[in-house]
């Protein structure tokens, strides 16, 4: 991942050309970041078609607002933030879930069973995968986004914090919640 707040000369030039309406230059930027932007959207909405649509919308919004982009953060982080915001808004609008915010989410952690205990190693891999997909659906978009951005996209806590616009401590607690939740579901499956 590129260092926040810095663009190489090539990228700065592409951004500048895109600002002036050069759609071809913008196409190069799209090619460069499309996979990761789709990954961010997918981490939140967990549906491929929606993620693709949201990623397209992300790039269109970015193009429209290029004049507002300042080089304080990296272009990629700025893009991922747009993608995450759009995806979370989409999820809320669709009303498919109950979203837990701030302290509500944190208190949920306390309600979880203890994390110590049996391992789920013995459960078959395919069964685990199927259950894991279902378990991911049960997470709030914020918690799902945090764990997928970390585990699948390989983002650091600071990057996740910047993309999701929340403190690093929140990233840590959400990750802990998501991991504990998923582990307990899978552990229950292993116990059945």
Partner 1 sequence: MAECGEISMMLGAFEDSELEPNEMQEVAYHLARCESCTGVLADYSTLGRDLRSITEVPSLAGFSSAVVARVERLPQPVLTRIERFVRRQLNSVGSGFAWSGAVVAAAIVTIILMTPYAHQFANRGTLPTIVASSDHNAALAPAPAQVADVATSEPTMADNDSHADISRLESEHSVAVWSEPRRDTTVIWLPDQP
Which residues in this chain contact partner 1 in the complex, by CB under 8 A? 20-21, 23-24, 26-27, 30-31, 34-35, 38-39, 42, 48-49, 51-52, 55-56, 59-60, 63-64, 114-121, 125, 128-129, 132-133, 136, 147-148, 150-152, 156-157, 172, 175-176, 179, 182-183, 186-187
Cβ at position 157, least distance to partner 1 in Å: 5
Place of tokens 């669709």: 94
Cβ at position 14, least distance to partner 1 in Å: 13
Cβ at position 158, least distance to partner 1 in Å: 9
Query: Is 143 in contact with 174 (CB distance < 8 Å)?
Result: yes
Cβ at position 29, least distance to partner 1 in Å: 9
Name which of 79 and 88 has its Cβ closer to partner 1.
79
Name which of 25 and 100 has its Cβ closer to partner 1.
25
Name which of 72 and 116 has its Cβ closer to partner 1.
116
3-class DSSP string for 112-176: CCCCCCCCCCCCCHHHHHHHHHHHHHHCCHHHHHHHHHHHCCCCCHHHHHHHHCCCHHHHHHHHH
Q: In this structure, what are the phi and psi dihedrals at residue 116, rounded to the nearest 5 degrees?
A: -85, 160
Query: Is 155 in contact with 149 (CB distance < 8 Å)?
Result: yes
- Token pair for residue 80? 């991922």
DSSP one-letter code for 67: G
Could you tell me which of 6, 28, 136 has the C-alpha nearest to residue 76?
6
Cβ at position 92, least distance to partner 1 in Å: 22
Name which of 51 and 87 has its Cβ closer to partner 1.
51
Name which of 95 and 114 has its Cβ closer to partner 1.
114
Q: Which helix (H) or strand (E) holds 2?
A: none
- Token pair for residue 102? 């701030």
Cβ at position 35, least distance to partner 1 in Å: 6
Q: Which 3 state secondary structure label does DSSP give 165? A: coil
Name which of 24 and 72 has its Cβ closer to partner 1.
24
Please tell me the distance from the alpha carbon of residue 144 to that of residue 150, in angstroms, as a whole number.
10
């Amino acid at each position: 991942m590129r260092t926040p707040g810095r663009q190489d000369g090539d990228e700065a030039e592409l951004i500048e050309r895109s600002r002036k309406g050069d759609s071809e230059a913008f196409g190069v930027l799209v090619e460069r970041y499309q996979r990761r932007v789709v990954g961010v959207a997918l981490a939140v909405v967990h549906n491929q078609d929606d993620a693709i649509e949201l990623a397209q919308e992300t790039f269109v919004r970015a193009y429209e607002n290029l004049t507002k982009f300042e080089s304080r953060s990296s272009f990629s982080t700025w893009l991922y933030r747009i993608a995450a915001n759009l995806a979370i808004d989409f999820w809320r609008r669709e009303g498919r879930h109950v979203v837990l915010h701030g302290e509500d989410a944190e208190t949920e952690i306390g309600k979880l069973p203890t994390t110590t205990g049996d391992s789920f190693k013995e459960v078959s891999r395919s069964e685990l995968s199927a259950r894991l997909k279902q378990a991911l659906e049960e997470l709030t978009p914020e918690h799902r986004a945090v764990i997928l951005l970390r585990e699948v996209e390989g983002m650091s806590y600071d990057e996740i914090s910047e993309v999701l616009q929340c403190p690093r401590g929140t990233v840590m607690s959400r990750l802990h919640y998501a991991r504990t939740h998923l582990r307990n579901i899978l552990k229950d499956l292993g116990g059945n």
